[in-house]
Amino acid sequence: MKKLKKRWYVVTLISIIVALFVMVAYNYAIFNSNMIENMEKIGSGNLAQVAEELEAYLDTGKNAVQTTSIAVEYMMENGAAAEEIEKFLVYESKRYTDEIDENFTGIYGLFRDTYIDGIGWVPDADYVPKERDWYIVATQANGQPAIVSPYLDAQTNTIMVSVSEMLSDGESVISLDIEMDRIQEITEEIRMNDIGYGFVIDKKGLVVAHNDIGEKGKNYLETDSVLKDLVNEVYEQEKSCFRAELNGENVTVFSDTVMEDWNVVMVVNNDALFADAQTTLRRNILICSAISLLIITFFILTFIRMHQSIEREMESNRKIEDVNRKIIRALVRTIDAKDRYTNGHSIRVAEYSKEIARRMKKSEKEQEHIYYAGLLHDVGKIRVPGSVINKPGKLTDEEYEQIKVHPVTSYHILKDIYDDKAIALGAKFHHERFDGKGYPNGLQGENIPEIARIIGVADTYDAMASNRSYRKALPQDVVRSEIEKGRGTQFDPEIADVMLQMIDEDKAYALKESKSLHKRVLVVDDEPMNVKMIKFIMKDEPMYEIVGAHSGPEALELLAEQEVNLILLDLVMPEMDGFETLAHIKEKYDIPVVLMTGDKNLETLEKAALYGVDDYLTKPFLPLALKEIMHSISV
């Protein structure tokens, strides 16, 4: 026996060692993979921010050109002479340089075949505006601002970029020159953890800006460029992250697009990029190895305490089961919420059913199953139209037929999502009668599953002991009389006797719905028509009583005299506005409040949240939205 135990220990110990080795190897692989993935995400995210900053800067230039274009078009339409337009461009050029960006060096353009320059530059005699890139690009952009490829400016001998826009006459063009200083500044800041470098290139390989200013103006697509292959891969992948070899080093390349015309690129050495992470990884491996040795050392002690571990696991399972119960109850509340007149019905039926099962000496497991069956017995109502379920008046024959289908729907929902088939059968047959006159199958006597017979009694009892829009819960003696009357016809007589016993013991009539369905809603609005409109919308909802107040003080007086379940409060009112009224209400009453206003500003929403409003209705609102909010908040 000792040899057998020793062998078992050895086998177990070897298994643990193998398992720990696999765990360390697996953790290494996962950590390494996550490390690379996280670095790639960080790098791509950083570069995306740079691309957005560059686009925002260029958008400023586009907006400037659009603004000037609108003004010039207006002047042209009103017969302005070239001298007036030139004077305006001179003014705009100086304003943009002084007030917007010093890199916006001047506005110029062609107007009815006349070249006008906002900074006074006079072109050579052979200068043909319509042959220049700034004019050609504008003609191809369908009246939208367009970015011209970087070029060497004839005046300043520096690399520039232009933004051009064709005017509505189809011939005139406005253009703005932008120096690259700001773009260069942004590019020089491209880093990842203070390593790597960045550059911006156009689609022709020209370096627009570079971390190393000496690289600026070079063309990386030239045959002797070491970056030619890298740049071509950037063009092929656009927004990407890929590995490459550059000057004998392994690097990671991040790229993103700017205005679909340029690419911004960041190159990072892999050794530097992953140095800190690799150190952390090695440290973690050492820690895991040390932990593994400790686990092996204390293996025997761990084995002795295994029983305690099992107990803790069982407790954890019990907690998980408790969470599952809460989830099921939440589902049931969702189902009950569809029926505005039977809120909490499923939970009460479940509790009554479990108590009947307990009195019938069912096991705890059986009681639990019966409880769940009671909770879920009406789940099929989710398929019944809300207009039928919530109809305050008598149902038509067709509507009643739709209601009668819900047990079948319940069965087909539950049979596949819960292992215990009894729960599905309880839902399917809880409307069968003991005399065979029920539905959906007309089963009789003990042919009806017992779980369904139990739920049937509990369901009928709660229907009578609950409030409805057209009546309050029936008196207890009336409920008892109906259960007694149905004994042997509608109900299993033995189960009916258990229910009668529960009724007789319930001297205070505690087994009934305690919440009233009647809800008084106060509408506070200085426009009487709005109060009338809400009354009209809710005219077919008998559970709601709509009362109106036309000012904040009137509302406060009414609250002091009447019990109110919900307040619909207009925001803009004379004498005392909605927020002031709300503050007075919150000081004295714990009543849900919904603001009504045409104000859609974010500041108003945030202020409303600070005041603790429960919802926010924007005028004009949908009647269905109003009904849903009133029901959801006032239940």
- pLDDT mean over 2-24: 64
pLDDT interval class at 392 (50, 70, 90): low
The token pair that represents 382 in the structure block: 């989710």
pLDDT digits (tens, 9 = 90+) for 605-615: 778 778 778 88
Distance CA 520, CA 515 (A): 13
Angle at 137 between CA 230 and CA 88, to 5 degrees: 125
Residue 435 DSSP code:
T
The order of strands in the sheet holding 262-269 is 207-210, 197-202, 262-269, 249-258, 240-246
* More confidently predicted of 168 and 27: 168
Under 8 Å between Cβ of 344 and 336: yes
* More confidently predicted of 313 and 173: 173
pLDDT digits (tens, 9 = 90+) for 396-438: 888 878 878 888 888 888 887 666 688 889 888 999 999 999 9
Looking at the DSSP bridge assignments, the partners of residue 231 are none
Residue 234: alpha-carbon gap to chain centroid: 34
Which of 109-123, 373-387, 610-624 holds the top average pLDDT? 109-123
Which residue in 210, 161, 206 sits closest to 185, CA to CA?
Answer: 210
Going by their DSSP bridges, the two strands 104-111 and 544-549 should be labelled as: unpaired
pLDDT interval class at 498 (50, 70, 90): very high
What is the enclosing helix (H) or strand (E) of 536? helix 528-537
Give buried/exposed letters for 500-517 (b at 16+ CB in 10 A, else e): bebbeeeeeeebbbeeeb
Phi, psi of 451, rounded to the nearest 5 degrees = -60, -35
Q: What is the dihedral of CA 449, 453, 455, 458, to 10 degrees?
A: -170
- pLDDT mean over 442-456: 94
pLDDT digits (tens, 9 = 90+) for 317-353: 677 667 666 667 666 666 666 665 566 788 889 999 9
Under 8 Å between Cβ of 146 and 140: yes
- pLDDT mean over 162-188: 89
pLDDT interval class at 2 (50, 70, 90): very low
Taking each continuous run of H as one helix and of E as one strand, the counts in the chain are 23, 15
Predicted pLDDT of residue 490: 94
Whether residue 75 is predicted with pLDDT greater than 80 in this model: the reply is: yes
Give buried/exposed letters for 530-561 (b at 16+ CB in 10 A, else e): bbebbbebbeebebbbbebbbbbebbbebbee
What amino acid occupies position 203? K
Name all domains of the chain by residue range, CATH numbers in brackets: 35-174 (3.30.450), 182-273 (3.30.450.20), 316-505 (1.10.3210.10), 519-634 (3.40.50.2300)
Under 8 Å between Cβ of 524 and 570: yes
Under 8 Å between Cβ of 198 and 190: yes
Distance CA 267, CA 478 (A): 84
Which residue in 605, 609, 614, 608 sits closest to 632, CA to CA?
Answer: 614
Say which range, 37-46, 246-255, 293-302, 355-364, has the weakest mean pLDDT. 293-302
Looking at the DSSP bridge assignments, the partners of residue 243 are 252
Distance CA 205, CA 216 (A): 11
What is the enclosing helix (H) or strand (E) of 192? none
What amino acid occupies position 202? D
The token pair that represents 290 in the structure block: 């040390």
Predicted pLDDT of residue 8: 66
Whether residue 524 is predicted with pLDDT greater than 80 in this model: the reply is: yes
What amino acid occupies position 320? I
Percent of the chain scored above 90 by pLDDT? 17
DSSP 68-113: HHHHHHHHHHTT--HHHHHHHHHHHHHHIIIII-TTEEEEEEEETT
Dmax (CA) for the chain in angstroms is 113
Percent of the chain scored above 70 by pLDDT? 82
Distance CA 281, CA 418 (A): 45
Residue 471 DSSP code:
B
Expressed in angstroms, the distance from the first to the final Cα of the chain is: 68
What is the enclosing helix (H) or strand (E) of 100? none
The token pair that represents 318 in the structure block: 């019990």
Distance CA 158, CA 163 (A): 16
The token pair that represents 350 in the structure block: 């479940």
611 contacts: CB under 8 Å, gap ≥ 6: 579, 582, 583, 586
Whether residue 153 is predicted with pLDDT greater than 80 in this model: the reply is: no
pLDDT digits (tens, 9 = 90+) for 255-310: 888 877 788 898 988 887 777 666 776 777 777 677 767 776 765 566 556 555 65
328 contacts: CB under 8 Å, gap ≥ 6: 372, 375, 376
Predicted pLDDT of residue 292: 67
Angle at 532 between CA 526 and CA 538, to 5 degrees: 125
Say which range, 20-24, 119-123, 137-141, 376-380, has the weakest mean pLDDT. 20-24
Distance CA 34, CA 280 (A): 13
Predicted pLDDT of residue 45: 85
Count other Cβ atoms within 10 Å, centred on residue 184.
18
Token look-up 């207006």 returns 74
Angle at 510 between CA 508 and CA 512, to 5 degrees: 130
pLDDT interval class at 235 (50, 70, 90): confident
Predicted pLDDT of residue 147: 87
pLDDT interval class at 152 (50, 70, 90): low
- pLDDT mean over 217-243: 80
Whether residue 529 is predicted with pLDDT greater than 70 in this model: the reply is: yes
Under 8 Å between Cβ of 257 and 236: no
Count other Cβ atoms within 10 Å, centred on residue 317.
10
pLDDT interval class at 570 (50, 70, 90): confident
Going by their DSSP bridges, the two strands 593-597 and 566-570 should be labelled as: parallel
Predicted pLDDT of residue 13: 63
pTM of the predicted protein model: 0.44
Whole-number Cα distances in Å, 603 to 98, 534, 574, 612: 34, 27, 21, 14
Going by their DSSP bridges, the two strands 593-597 and 544-549 should be labelled as: unpaired
Whether residue 24 is predicted with pLDDT greater than 50 in this model: the reply is: yes
Per-chain mean pLDDT for the chain: 82
Distance CA 463, CA 479 (A): 10
- pLDDT mean over 527-552: 83
The token pair that represents 633 in the structure block: 């908040």
Whether residue 361 is predicted with pLDDT greater than 90 in this model: the reply is: yes
Which residue in 287, 109, 271 sits closest to 193, CA to CA?
Answer: 271
